[in-house]
Amino acid sequence: MGIKNGDARTGLSTAWGRLKWPLLLAAVLLCALAVVVAGMVPGVLAPKPSPSIPSWQQSPSALAGSSAVQPLDANAPMPVQADVTKLLEETLKPSGSGSITGVVLDAATGKVLFDRDAAANRIPASNMKLLTAVAALKALGPETRFTTRVLGTDDPHTVVLAGGGDVLLGGGASDPSAVLGHAGLATLAADTAASLKNAGIKGPVTVQVDDSLFSGAPLNPAWSLGDVAAGETAPLYSLALNSGRYSPTTTTGPRPQDSAVTTAQAFAEQLAAAGVEVGSGVERGKGLPAKLLASAESATVSEQVDHMLQTSDNFLAEALGRLTAAASGRKATYDGATAAVRERLGELGIASDSMELADVSGLALENQVSARQFAEVVRAITSGPDLSLRAALDGFPVAGLTGTLDDRYVDPSTAQGAGLVRAKTGTLNTVIALSGYVVDADGRLLVFSFIGNGLEPGAAGNKVAMDRSASVLAACGCRG
């Protein structure tokens, strides 16, 4: 049945009548909603007003002049000795028994600004590492690396892990960005496995270790056996994992007593993980230099020196001392290390005849060095003519921020030195030392050394006294 035109118009009109009121209602609702949204969210439907942005949040219209770290001003006024002395006499006082010697020097000229028995020999604790640092940098060079090798022997089924002085080996893959673990046993084992495979060597492989680079007694007789048992250090060998620790995250407690064998055992495990059948046990032996299977290089001497100073690592300090001895044409023994350190200090013009050196890490109570000698070493690092020593600058812990000073300079009387003082710490039972450098309020670079001996064990006031003394130097505008 067809539909007439009139019927069609009537049908459409009726349909529109049914729809127009819902549509009109929807339109009204949409308009109302738009008004609400516009009121709630400015800028959605309305013009966006100009925001009021603080000037410090706005993009600069031009580059400003630098006001950050500037070169030292050679014409900065030098502090007056009497004023510096007056300040330090008020702060540099032991808490209880004992005494504190000290010295402050102007870095540029060497002028003495404070002197309290500065020439007197004292037990320096870990400030000894400053002497080791400059000797190692001078003898070895900042960019030198130590190589750990895997060598073949006359027996194709025997490989030798040969220590080259790297005691910061890691157990995993080599990490080029790290100091501890820069060379890793997993990478060394994978490279060794590839060499064995290429040579067609199958069947059980015996792992030996060659630690002959260092000679003499592994344990220094000047050390307290109690300190060794507590893990302050350990018998020294020419290769070690984690600076003579079981784990890179473990910094206290007992250590492996034969780091060479422990490292070789860990290497054997990594070799097995790389698909090599490995025999049981590890032996000492020597490989043939011409049969190099794999090798891995350590972090640089500069990086290791900085790590040693930041963390006050006794084991690493002694290793660097032995390597300094070898580079100086001496036997790589404890005595060779102390002799080499003394020799290198002499080359820098630092008088060392009065020093008594029993080790190069500072654990030995027989060490005797003066505050003046430490200040001269710091001055050689900051301002001396041998530019290779500048590599040690980053190793000084920053007050309240890094290394062994990260938890100090929080006392209100010392807070003004936080972030400004950079110094090497030293702590034994009755000994506290602090040697470093600071730029004073007038822009003058000062070096200092404070050494306390015979102190009351555990008296917190002694560290505060030294920290406060370094802090007043940072705040000093001592021009009279």
* Helix/strand/coil for 232: coil
DSSP state of 356: B
Q: How far apart are CA 324 and CA 307, in angstroms?
A: 17
> Is 197 designated active site?
no
Find out whether 91 and 450 touch, Cβ atoms under 8 Å. no
Q: How far apart are CA 347 and CA 340, in angstroms?
A: 11
* Helix, strand, coil tally for the chain in percent (to 5): 40, 15, 45
Is 86 labeled as catalytic in the residue annotation?
A: no
Residue 176 vs residues 142, 203, 298: alpha-carbon distances, Å: 17, 33, 9
User: At 384, is the secondary structure helix, strand, or coil?
Assistant: coil
The helix (run of H) or strand (run of E) holding residue 382 is helix 371-383
Which residue from 24, 55, 233 is spatially nearest to 128, judged by alpha carbons? Answer: 233
Q: How many CA atoms lie within 13 A of 480 on its CB side?
A: 4
DSSP conformation letters of 149-188: EEEE-SSTTEEEEE--S---BBSSS--TT-STTSSBHHHH
**What are the CA-CA distances from residue 315 to residues 22, 168, 309 (Å)?**
87, 10, 12
Residue among 129, 138, 424, 463 flagged as catalytic = 129
The single-letter code of the amino acid at 100 is I
Query: Residue 308: in which H helix or E strand, if any?
Result: helix 301-311
Burial class (CB in 10 A: 0-12, 13-18, 19+), 55: exposed
Tokens 């015979």, located at residue: 454
- Which is the catalytic residue, given 312, 328, 383, 435? 312
93 is catalytic: no
Catalytic choice (126, 238, 383, 469): 126
At 47, phi and psi to the nearest 5? Answer: -60, 140
- DSSP class of 255: -
Number of neighbours of residue 195 by Cβ within 10 angstroms: 17
Whole-angstrom Cα distance, residue 141 to residue 321? 13
Count the neighbouring beta carbons within 10 Å of the beta carbon of residue 451. 29
Enumerate the active-site residues.
126, 129, 312
